[in-house]
Amino acid sequence: MRLELSQAATKVFKFFLISYAIVSVIYTAGYLYTTYSGNHHGIIPRAREQQIPIQESLQHQQLNEHTVVWSNAQGSIQAMPENFVMTKIFSDAMGPMNLTPYFFRAKAQFDKEDITMSTLVTRNRFPVLSRLATNHKGPISAAVHINDDEDKDEVIKELRDLYAGNPDMQQFVDLHLIIDTYDRQFNLWRNIAKLFARTDYIMMLDVDFHICTDLRKSIRSNPDIMDRLRDGRTALVVPAFEFEKQADGNDWKTFPANKKDLVQLVDDGKIGMFHNNWFKGHGSTNYTRWYETDDDIYKVTKYDFSYEPYIIYKKDGSPWCDERFIGYGANKAACLYEIYLSGIEYWVLPNDFLIHQTHRYPEDARRKERQYNRKLYTNYREEVCLRYARKFYMSGEWETTKADNLKRECAKVHGFQRNFMTTTE
Ligand SMILES: *[C@@H]1O[C@H](CO)[C@@H](O)[C@H](O)[C@H]1NC(C)=O
């Protein structure tokens, strides 16, 4: 009896032992499987809630000492020096560069659906940036370039003074500092300002323009326009103006603040489209039409590859500016060309506008740079046409409206038709 009992007890005990072993093995296998299989997709798709708050890790303003941590759903898996990651992000630009994102970080919390003024600043434009912060009182992402020379500490001090002296700078301006020996890498700087902007939409703006109207309000209070922005297929053009007499453009306080007053000045011959000596730069906006139109946005139909309007568009999913354009000429136009070819339509805002503020900086012609970039741009257009044509073709979008801009523009590119047709057949 006792023996039988103890045998039964042993059996039960064995049963539990074996069950425990089996459960352990399954559990361990499961754990190992999820841990190691996690590595296969660890670098790119991460769980949303696991994202590293990059800006927090960068608050210390020491240069060059930061890491970027890649993580997957189980946690962090790999850290890399930030400088190394930057060399890949900006691999088309000249390097090495010394970039400090959020060198100053604005105190304000920005609404995700707000529009960030995304702009480039060099030393001679510091006062204009400060003025923009005060007039605009909304999110600004500024890429500031400082030459790596004996003056740089002095220039950084000027920047600190600028912040200390203007609460609006502290409140609204995220400042990303680039220190290197490469001047005028405009498209690289544009990309930096865009990359670190903290809202869904940005306006690619030259810092010396005065924003005459409350354009954030007119956009954000219009549900149809907001839907277009969200959809990512529309870029909004804000028409730009310039006074005929330089002296009239000195003081923004005297600038018109609504369309009616502006059109009056146009009629009086005091103001006109920006750069009217280079009509292709802004002509596609169709100023004649803009003067007549009152409440509806309208589409840019006569596109020109030299068109370089100031646009508001969605950060996510839009092309970056090609960083191979360095120096004057074609850099902004190339950026807008690729955006347009990617299937984004340009629509002109009917009531908002910008006015260029006169500045006295000597602007030598830099003819060599323009000449070089003109050549580069010709090659670039063909390259971008082929690239996007192939992309649309392979992604099954060739027959959709997304390819319309490309089909129309690229038909003008010498050799495109022949090359593309032989590529895809
Ligand atoms: C500009 O718009 C007007 C209509 O207001 C139109 O008649 C004209 O053809 C347009 N010009 C261009 C170049 O699109």
- Give the mutation target among 284, 285, 289 for probing the ligand 1 site: most ligand atoms within 8 A of CB: 289
Asked if residue 61 has pLDDT above 80, the reply is: no
Whether ligand 1 lies within 6 angstroms of the CB of 292 is answered as yes
Whether ligand 1 lies within 6 angstroms of the CB of 113 is answered as no
CA distance 252 to 355: 9
- Give the mutation target among 288, 292, 293, 304 for probing the ligand 1 site: most ligand atoms within 8 A of CB: 288
CA distance 185 to 187: 6
Asked if residue 77 has pLDDT above 70, the reply is: yes
Asked if residue 41 has pLDDT above 50, the reply is: no
Asked if residue 21 has pLDDT above 90, the reply is: no
CA distance 386 to 406: 10
If you average pLDDT over residues 199-224, what whole number do you get? 97
pLDDT tens for 130-141 read 999 999 999 999
pTM of the model: 0.84
Asked if residue 50 has pLDDT above 60, the reply is: no
Nearest-CA residue for ligand 1 atom 8 is 289
Q: How far is the CA of 290 from the centre of ligand 1 (A)?
A: 9
Whether ligand 1 lies within 6 angstroms of the CB of 286 is answered as yes
Domain spans of the chain, in order of start? 36-87, 90-207, 208-425
Q: What is the pLDDT of residue 423?
A: 52
Least confident of 55-64, 263-272, 366-375: 55-64
Closest atom of ligand 1 to CA, residue 301: 14
Whether ligand 1 lies within 6 angstroms of the CB of 187 is answered as no
Whether ligand 1 lies within 6 angstroms of the CB of 284 is answered as no
Instruction: Tell me if residue 22 falls in helix, strand or coil.
Output: helix
Write the CA distances from 193 to 202, 246, 251, 375, integer angstroms.
9, 29, 27, 27
pLDDT: is 8 or 268 the higher one? Answer: 268
User: Going by C-beta distance under 8 Å and a sequence separation of 6 or more, which residues neighbour residue 231?
Assistant: none
Write the CA distances from 102 to 62, 105, 198, integer angstroms.
11, 5, 11
Asked if residue 145 has pLDDT above 60, the reply is: yes
pLDDT tens for 390-406 read 999 999 999 999 999 99
In this prediction, residue 10 has a pLDDT band, given cuts at 50, 70 and 90, of: low
Question: What phi and psi, each to the nearest 5 degrees, are found at residue 202?
Answer: -130, 155
Write the CA distances from 375 to 144, 145, 257, 371, 408, integer angstroms.
28, 26, 40, 7, 22
CA distance 273 to 266: 9
Q: How far is the CA of 286 from the centre of ligand 1 (A)?
A: 6
Q: Point out which residues pair with 238 in neighbouring strands.
A: 310
